Structure 1
Amino acid sequence: MLAPDLYSLREHFDQERILLCFNGPISRSLIEEIGNALRNYMKTEQTSPGSAMDVFAVYIELTQNIRHYARDHQFSGADTATVMVSFRDGHYHVAAGNMVRREDGDFLLKQVEELASLDKTELKSRYKQQLRQPRDQEAATGAGLGLIDMARKATAPIQASLKPLNDGFAFLSISVQI
C-alpha cells in the first residue's frame, strides 16, 4: 500500500481554511471530544464569545442529529458522518453530512429551502410557534426546533444538498455560515 499524500491534503486544508475535519463513525463521546477541540481552538484564536457559542451550538446540533438518525435508522453506514469547520471571508462555516434514506433527505431539503426564504423576524416567529406546539412522542423527530435555531444563528441561509446513491439512499450535506 502506498503512503497517503498527507502534505497535499494539508495544503488543501490550508487553502480552504479548514480548521477541523472528521470522517467516520460518530458516537456521543466522539462528538464531545471533537467539540472540546473546536472550543479550545476558538478560544486560542480569540473568537468572540457569541460567535464561538453559535459555532459550537451548530456543530452540536448537526452531529447529534446524525447520531440520532443513525440510532433510529439501523442501516449500514448510517452512523458515518463527515464534519468540517472552516473559516473563510470572515465567517465560520460548519458543515456535516451523512447517508440518509432518499425520502428523508428530500423532506429535509424542503424544510431548509422554506427556512431560507424567511427573514430573521419570520425565523424568530417560526421558532416561537414551534416551541409552543406540543411534542408528539410517537412522531419522528427532525427538521424542527434545532433546524430553525441554526437558521436563526446563521449569517446567510442554510445550504443543503442531496447526492443520490444506490438503493433509495442519498448523502445529505448541510452547511451553516456563522
Structure 2
Amino acid sequence: METLDLFAMRESYNRQQIMLCFNGPISRSLIEEIGNALRNYLAADHANPSSAMDVFAVYIEMTQNIRHYAKVRNWADQEAGATVVVARNDTDGRYVVSAGNLIETADGEALIASIEELARLDKAQLKARYKEQLRKPREDNSVSGAGLGLIDIARKSSEPLKASLQTVANGRSFISLSAVI
C-alpha cells in the first residue's frame, strides 16, 4: 500500500475549506452518523439555520441517491462506494456539497443531461418543474423515486448544479455532482 501523507492531505483540506470528507461504502447508518457530524460542524460554524438545513438536506438527498442506486444494481461494497465532501467558502460564506460514485455510463450520461437541463432553469422555472413532477403519476414498477430529489437539490442551490462524468472501465463511469448552498 502506498504511504499516506496525512499532513499534505490535511493542508489540502484546510486550503479548500473542507469541513467533512468521506470515501468508501456507505450504509444507511453511516449516512445518519455523518449527517449528525455535519449538523454539529454547521452549528459550530454558526451557519445560518436556513442554510444549515439546506446543506443537510442536500447531503442526505445525494447520499441516499447513491445508496439507492447501488442497492438497485445489487453492487458489492467496493462498487457501491461514495465520495462525499462538504466545504465552506470563506469569501462568500456559502457551502459546497459534492458527492460522487460509480454509475453505469449510460445512466450517467442520462443523469448529466438532466442536471444540465436543470442548470439552465431559473428559480421560478425550477419551482414550476418541481410542482409538475410532484403531480405526475408514479409508475408502479419504477425502481427510482419520483424524480423530485434532483430538482429539490437544484432549488436549494444558489448556483446552477455542476456535474461531470469520467469513464472508468467495463461500461462504468464516475459521476460527480456539486451544489453551492
- Normalised to the residue count of structure 2, the TM-score between the two structures is 0.94
Question: Which range is displaced more, 118-127 or 3-12?
Answer: 3-12
- On the 8 A contact 1:83/1:97 being kept in 2, the answer is yes
The match for 2:142 is 139
**Structure 1's 39 and 167: CA in aligned 2 closer, same or farther, altered over 3 A?**
same
Q: What corresponds to 2:152 in structure 1?
A: 149
Of residues 154, 162, 167, the one that matches 1:164 is 167
- Measure how far apart 1:106 and its partner are: 0.4
- CA deviation vs aligned residue, 1:106-146 (integer Å, no higher than 9, x gap): 00000000000100000000000000111112123268100
Structure 1 residue 47, shift from structure 2 partner: 0.5
Under a length normalisation based on structure 1, what TM-score does the superposition of the two structures give?
0.96
Question: In 2, distance between residues paired with 1:78 and 1:134?
Answer: 32
The count of aligned residue pairs is 178
Contact 2:138/2:146 (<8 A) preserved: no
Partner residue in 1 for 2:72: 72
Identity of matched residues, %: 54
Query: Paired residue for 2:21?
Result: 21
Q: Which of 104, 108, 122 is the matching residue for 2:107?
A: 104
Contact 1:25/1:80 (<8 A) preserved: yes
4+ residue segments displaced more than 3 Å? 75-78
Question: How far has the Cα of 1:4 moved from its partner?
Answer: 2.0
CA contact (8 A) 2:99 2:177 kept: yes
Q: 1:103 to 1:12 in 2, by over 3 A?
A: same
Change (3 A) 1:2 1:124: closer
**Displacement of 1:70 after TM fit?**
0.7
